[in-house]
Each structure stands twice: as C-alpha cells, then as structure tokens.
A and B are shown apart, each in its own frame.
Chain A
Amino acid sequence: MTGKAKKLRRLIKSIWVFNWFNSCGFTELVPVVGSRWDMERFGMVVTGTPRHADVLFIAGYQTHKSIRRAKIIFEQMAEPKVVIGLGACSMTGGMYWDSYNTIKRLEDYLPVNMYVPGCPPRPEAVFEACEKIFQHVLEMKDE
C-alpha cells in the first residue's frame, strides 16, 4: 500500500468501494451490502464512480475483454487505492482454470493488495480482509 500513514488513517474511517464483478461475483457479494451483514456499519459505501472510490473489489473470472476495462477503472481511482480480489476465480482461475479466454491470476494485470479465497467468500471473510487492511494502516509508522 502506498501513501502517507496519516492520510490513510483518515481514509479508513469511511471506505468507499467500487465493485467490478463478473459472472456470479455480484450475487455472491450482495449479502455484504444487504441488511444482515451490512457493510455500512463499518463505514463502507458503494460508489457509482471509480473516481470517488478508495477500494476496488474484483470478483468472478475476468475475461481478456473485461480486464482491460478493469485496468481503466483502476487508473481512474485516486491515490491511495486498494485492490481486493474476491473468490477462487481471481486467484487461480477457479473452475475456469482451462478456459481459453479468462485470465488466471489477477496479480499479473493489477496490483492486488489482498485475495479473499472461497467460492464464494463468506461475508465474514470479506470483512476480515477489510479489518486486516484497517489494522495494517493503524500499525503503519509515521515517516
């Protein structure tokens, strides 16, 4: 993660999220947005534009076509920014490991900060990933 510790500490009080989901990605992450697991209690809000977002959630298999759009979205986000890959597909290709038109490892294309394994990952796992990032920021030393 890049950026000054002081700035990041201010940022983690409210994380704005941009979702980039292919295939089943979004349906699996809907519980996180919904009232039962409610991500807003941690100050996480889904934004409509990448220019307002701090965190980019990427889930589902990415095709060669969609990863180009994901790169454009990543470039539009303001620093400091975090990329979290969700699910088995973004890590290894998942059940599409032998598909000719999906990418296999997200980190070959975008600087991924954290992977959340699972097919799909549980909402608790998503929150744990965010918590780890919060903890990391809190433990960062001032320069």
Chain B
Amino acid sequence: MNESDLIRDLDKEFGACAQEKRKRRVWVSVELNELIDVCRFCYGKGFRHLSTISATDYPSEGMYELTYFLWSYEDKLLVTVKTTISRDKPVIDSVTSIWGESAQIHERELHELFGVKFEGNKDLTPLFLEEWDGPPPFRRDFNWRDYVREKYYDKENEREKPYYL
C-alpha cells in the first residue's frame, strides 16, 4: 500500500477527506462523529502504532484541534488524523478501544494539560499536577505568570518586588 492507495480507500469509505501532504505523509481531516470509524479503518489497514495525540488551542475560534499520529510499520506511512472539538465543552470518545494502553497515557496527559475529557478512558487522574486547583495549564488563555504571582509571591515583600515588574 502506498499513499495514493490509502487516500483512494479513505475517500471511498468516508468521502473526500484525505490529502497527500508530502512523500509518505497523509493528512486526514474528519468530523468528530467519524473519528472512531476512521481510526478503526486505519488500524485495520495496518496502522498499529499510535505515536501521539496532540491538541492545539484556537481560542479565537473556540475550538481545540486534536491530532492523532498513526504509523504503519509495514508500509512506512505516517497518517495524521485531525478533528476539532469545542473548547468550552471538550468531550471526545476515547480511542483506547482501538490502541489500548498506548492511547490511554496520551489521553491522560491531554486531560491534565488541556482539560479534554475522553469518554471511555478508565484512568484520567493527573500525571504530574497533583493537588492542582487552577485551570488546565496549557490553554492559551491561562496566564501562568499571573497565577504564580498570585499564588506564590507577595507584592509587599521587598525581595519579591522584581517579580512584579
């Protein structure tokens, strides 16, 4: 299987959604409700390795873009599956039913850093931020410097004045 075979198969199954970005790199943009079907389809095509899941924050458009990177060991192809979800209510179905443990840890991290809720993932406890009380820290509108100033420092303290410059 090469790029054009995969794009043809995806287009036949899900409509025109795939494009060849460059050699051995295929981008697939899907709607939220199609995501699990596309992922399962790709898994059946030999994409057994989920490299990572990443989220990109677009505050002005009010959405997160979730990107799934899939790798096929047989065909040496990297497929990038993209979908968008609402920023205010970030809920999405988990892909742990397809990739199992390797998806679980990526989803757990995104839940911690972006607040995305993955329905079907059994363990979404924070990895690093124990006893965290602020908003998800990787959101663009989270001003960590203001948060730190408020939480850790005292403006009246002579030694800590430089932190407020």
Residue ranges of A at the interface with B (Cβ–Cβ < 8 Å): 63-65, 68, 93, 97-101, 104
| B144 CB → nearest A CB, Å | 4
Contact B144 A100 (CB under 8 A): yes
Q: How far, in whole Å, are A104 and B149 apart by their CA atoms in the complex?
A: 11
B145 partner residues in chain A, CB cutoff 8 A: 98
Q: Chain B interface: which size bin?
A: 10 to 19
How far, in angstroms, from A64 to B128 measured CA to CA in the complex?
A: 8
- The chain B residue with its CB closest to the CB of A105 is B152
User: Is A97's CB under 8 angstroms from B163's CB?
Assistant: yes
Residue of B nearest to A97 (CB): B163
In the complex, chain A residues whose CB is within 8 Å of the CB of B131:
64
- Distance of A141 Cα from B163 Cα, bound (Å): 42
* Sample of 7 more A-B contacts, CB < 8 Å, known A64-B130, A98-B144: A63-B128, A64-B129, A65-B128, A98-B148, A99-B148, A101-B128, A101-B129
Distance, CA A65 to CA B153, complexed state (A)? 20
Q: How far is the CA of A64 from the CA of B163 in the complex (A)?
A: 21
Top 10 closest pairs, chain A to chain B, by CB: A100-B144, A104-B152, A98-B145, A65-B130, A98-B148, A100-B137, A100-B147, A65-B128, A64-B130, A100-B148
Query: Can you offer 19 A-B residue contacts whose CB atoms are under 8 A?
Result: A64-B129, A64-B130, A64-B132, A68-B130, A93-B152, A97-B148, A97-B163, A98-B144, A98-B145, A98-B148, A98-B163, A99-B148, A100-B137, A100-B144, A100-B147, A100-B148, A101-B128, A101-B132, A104-B152
Interface-centre pick from B131, B132, B152, B163 (highest chain A CB count, 10 A): B152
Complex Cα gap A98–B31 (Å): 38
Specify the main secondary structure of chain A where it touches its partner.
loop
A68, closest chain B residue (CB): B130
* A99 and B163 contacting across the interface, CB-CB below 8 Å: no
B44 within 8 A of A: no
Q: Is B134 positioned at the interface, with any CB of A under 8 Å from its CB? A: yes
CB distance from A107 to the nearest CB of B (A): 13
Bound-state Cα–Cα, A63 to B19, Å: 43
Determine the chain A residues whose CB is within 8 A of the CB of B148 once the complex forms.
97-100
Name the distance in Å between B154's Cβ and chain A's nearest Cβ. Answer: 11
Shortest CB distance B146–A (Å) = 10
Looking across the interface, which residue of chain A has its beta carbon closest to that of B128? A65
Whether A100 and B134, one on each chain, are in contact in the complex, defined by CB atoms closer than 8 angstroms, is yes
User: What is the CA–CA distance of A68 and B132 in the complex, to the nearest angstrom?
Assistant: 13
What's the Cα separation between A100 and B134 when bound, in Å? 9
- Report the bound CA distance from A93 to B159 in whole Å: 13
Q: Which of A64, A93, A99 contacts B144 (CB 8 A)?
A: A99
Closest to B127 in A: A65
